[in-house]
Amino acid sequence: MFNTLTERLSSTFKNLRGKGRLTQADIDATAREIRRALLDADVAVPAVREFIAHVKERALGEEVSEALNPGQQVVKIVQNELEEILGGETRNIQLAKNPPTVIMLVGLQGAGKTTLAGKLSKHLKQQGHTPLLVAADLQRPNAVKQLEVNGERAGVPVFAPHPGVSSEHEDPTGDPVEVARAGLEEAKTRQHDIVIIDTAGRLGVDQELMQQASDIRAATNPDEVLFVIDAMIGQDAVATAQAFNEGVGFTGVVLSKMDGDARGGAALSVKYITGKPIMFASTGEGLDDFEVFHPDRMASRILDMGDVLSLIEQAERTIDKSQAEKMAQKFVDQEDFTLEDFLDQMQQLKKMGSMKKMLMMMPGAQGMRQQLEQFDDSQVNRIEAIIRSMTPYERNVPKIINGSRRARIAAGSGVHVSEVNTLLERFREAQKMMKRMAAGGGIPGMPGMPG
- Point out the annotated binding site for GTP: 107-114, 198-202, 256-259
Please identify, among the stretches 45-53, 253-261, 270-278, 437-445, the one whose residues bind ligand GDP according to the rule CB under 6 A: 253-261
Query: Integer distance in angstroms from the first to the last C-alpha of the chain?
Result: 28
DSSP 336: G
Beta-sheet strands, E only, within 127-193: 131-136, 158-159
Contacts of 189 (CB under 8 A, 6+ apart): 168, 169
Using the rule CB under 6 A, which residue among 29, 50, 96, 110 binds ligand GDP? 110
Q: How far is CA 38 from the centre of its chain?
A: 19
3-state secondary structure of 78: helix
Using CB under 6 A as the binding rule, whether residue 284 contacts ligand GDP is answered as: yes
Residue of the chain from 70, 87, 112, 363 that contacts ligand GDP (CB under 6 A): 112
Binder of ligand GDP out of 256, 274, 310, 314 (CB under 6 A): 256
Distances in whole angstroms, Cα of residue 43 to Cα of each of 228, 294, 425: 18, 19, 37
Exactly one of 6, 12, 115, 348 binds ligand GDP (CB under 6 A); that residue is 115
Identify which of 368, 398, 373, 374 has the alpha carbon closest to the alpha carbon of residue 386: 398
Q: Taking a C-beta distance cutoff of 8 angstroms, is the pair 272, 50 a contact?
A: yes
CB 257, min distance to ligand GDP, A = 4
**Smallest distance from the beta carbon of 441 to ligand GDP, in angstroms?**
35
Q: How far is the CB of 244 from ligand GDP (least distance, A)?
A: 12
Select from 64-72, 103-111, 323-331, 417-425 the region that touches ligand GDP (CB under 6 A).
103-111
Q: Which is nearer to ligand GDP, 145 or 169 (CB)?
A: 145
- 123 vs 406, beta carbon nearer ligand GDP: 123
- The Cα-based distances of 197 to 104, 223, 260, 430 in angstroms read 5, 12, 26, 44
- Of 120 and 324, which CB lies nearer to ligand GDP in the complex structure? 120
Residue 227 CB, nearest approach to ligand GDP (Å): 11
| CB-CB contact of 288 with 317 (8 Å) | yes
DSSP-based three-state secondary structure for 194: strand
Which range binds ligand GDP by CB under 6 A, 50-58, 283-291, 298-306, 342-350? 283-291
Q: What's the DSSP call for residue 159?
A: E
CB closer to ligand GDP out of 9 and 229: 229
Binding pattern to ligand GDP, positions 1-40, x when CB under 6 A? ----------------------------------------
- How are beta strands 158-159 and 101-106 bridged, if at all? unpaired
Q: Which stretch binds ligand GDP (CB under 6 A): 108-116, 211-219, 329-337, 369-377?
A: 108-116
Identify residues 126-165 at the interface with ligand GDP (CB under 6 A).
140
Q: Does 201 bind ligand GDP (CB under 6 A)?
A: yes
Among 42, 148, 259, 296, binds ligand GDP (CB under 6 A): 259
User: Rule CB under 6 A: is residue 212 a binding residue for ligand GDP?
Assistant: no
Question: In this complex, which beta carbon is closest to ligand GDP, that of residue 246 or of residue 285?
Answer: 285
Minimum CB distance to ligand GDP, residue 367 (Å): 25
Say whether residue 114 binds ligand GDP (CB under 6 A): yes
Alpha helical stretches, state H, 43-112? 45-60, 70-85
Give a three-class secondary structure readout of 293-312: CCHHHHHHHHCCCCCHHHHH
Sheet holding 158-159, edge to edge: 158-159, 131-136, 194-199, 101-106, 224-230, 252-256, 278-282, 290-292
Burial class (CB in 10 A: 0-12, 13-18, 19+), 337: buried
Asked whether position 122 contacts ligand GDP by CB under 6 A, the answer is no
* Closer residue to ligand GDP, CB minimum distance, 74 or 237: 237
Distance of CA 244 to the CA centre of its chain: 23
Of positions 282, 300, 345, 413, contacts ligand GDP by CB under 6 A: 282
Which residues form the interface with ligand GDP (CB under 6 A)?
107, 109-115, 140, 201, 256-257, 259-260, 282-285, 289
